[in-house]
């Protein structure tokens, strides 16, 4: 009996210690909070099948600012991606059709004002027709190229 009591004391000490460690260990992306654009739950940033995070993606996880902004090569790649995946609803040059314009200052989703918010919308999907592109095989690096392209369209 005494032996069992000691074990259970030991177990509670280990349990308390591990809870304490969990409390003081910062989450993986402590600086920037990524949230699902549909329900505001924490966004699952795990890589999709075959995806390897680039340095730009890792940087973006820390800062929430697209490292490809203003990079002409990245913008050209983003434009191709946009033409293949987005023009059906957002039109050439993202001026808006069935989906809203991405070049004006009026946003359906307030979060679309920032790189982080655009990322959340493209990654998780927004309401209705704007579905999750990460579920359709678009990598986080490609999302950053798309955002650099969209940002380049703003005067
Ligand atoms: C099937 C149509 C469709 C496609 C394809 C589509 N979108 Fe959308 N998109 C929408 C709709 C509709 C909305 C408005 C969503 C809402 O009401 O919350 C939207 C919203 C957005 C927003 C937020 C804009 C705002 O004003 O709040 C961004 C950014 C965006 N889309 C980017 C993209 C990108 C980048 C692609 C391609 C990878 C893409 N969309 C493909 C329909 C689409």
In this predicted model, what pLDDT tens digit does every residue of 99-151 receive, in sequence order? 999 999 889 999 999 999 999 999 999 987 899 999 999 999 999 999 999 99
Give the C-alpha separation, 124 to 45, whole Å: 10
Q: Give the tens place of pLDDT for each residue, 17-57.
A: 665 555 555 555 457 999 999 999 999 999 999 999 999 99
Determine the atom of ligand 1 nearest the C-alpha atom of 106: 26
Ligand 1 atom 31: residue of nearest CA: 130
Which pLDDT belongs to residue 11? 60
Nearest atom (ligand 1) to Cα of 110: 27
Task: Tell me which residue of 49, 72, 73 sits closest to 140, measured CA to CA.
Answer: 49
- Encode 36-69: b = buried (16+ Cβ within 10 Å), e = exposed: bbeeeeebebeeeeebeeeebbeebbeebebbbe
**Residue owning the nearest CA to atom 37 of ligand 1:** 86
Nearest to 104 by CA among 91, 116, 120: 91
pLDDT of residue 92: 95
How many C-beta atoms surround the C-beta of residue 115 within 10 A? 21
Q: With 0-12 CB in 10 A as exposed, 13-18 as middle and 19+ as buried, what is 74?
A: buried
- 68 confidence band (pLDDT: 50, 70, 90): very high
User: Who contacts 103 (Cβ-Cβ below 8 Å, separation ≥6)?
Assistant: 93, 94, 95, 96, 150, 153, 154
34 lines ligand 1 (CB under 6 A): no
Q: What is the dihedral of CA 50, 51, 55, 56, to 10 degrees?
A: 150
Q: Which residue has the higher pLDDT, 6 or 59?
A: 59
Ligand 1 centroid distance, CA of 22 (Å): 37
């Amino acid at each position: 009996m005494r032996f069992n009591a000691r074990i259970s004391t030991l177990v509670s000490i280990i349990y308390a210690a591990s809870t304490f460690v969990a409390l003081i260990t910062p989450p993986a992306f402590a600086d920037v909070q990524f949230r699902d654009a549909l329900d505001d739950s924490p966004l699952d940033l795990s890589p999709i099948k075959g995806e390897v995070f680039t340095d730009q993606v890792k940087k973006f996880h820390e800062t929430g600012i697209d490292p490809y902004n203003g990079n002409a090569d990245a913008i050209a790649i983003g434009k191709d991606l946009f033409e293949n995946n987005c023009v059906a609803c957002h039109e050439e040059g993202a001026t808006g059709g069935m989906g809203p314009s991405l070049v004006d200052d009026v946003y359906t989703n307030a979060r679309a004002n920032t790189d982080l918010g655009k990322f959340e919308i493209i990654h998780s999907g927004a309401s209705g027709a704007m579905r999750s592109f990460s579920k359709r095989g678009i990598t986080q690096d490609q999302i950053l190229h798309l955002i650099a392209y969209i940002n380049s369209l703003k005067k």
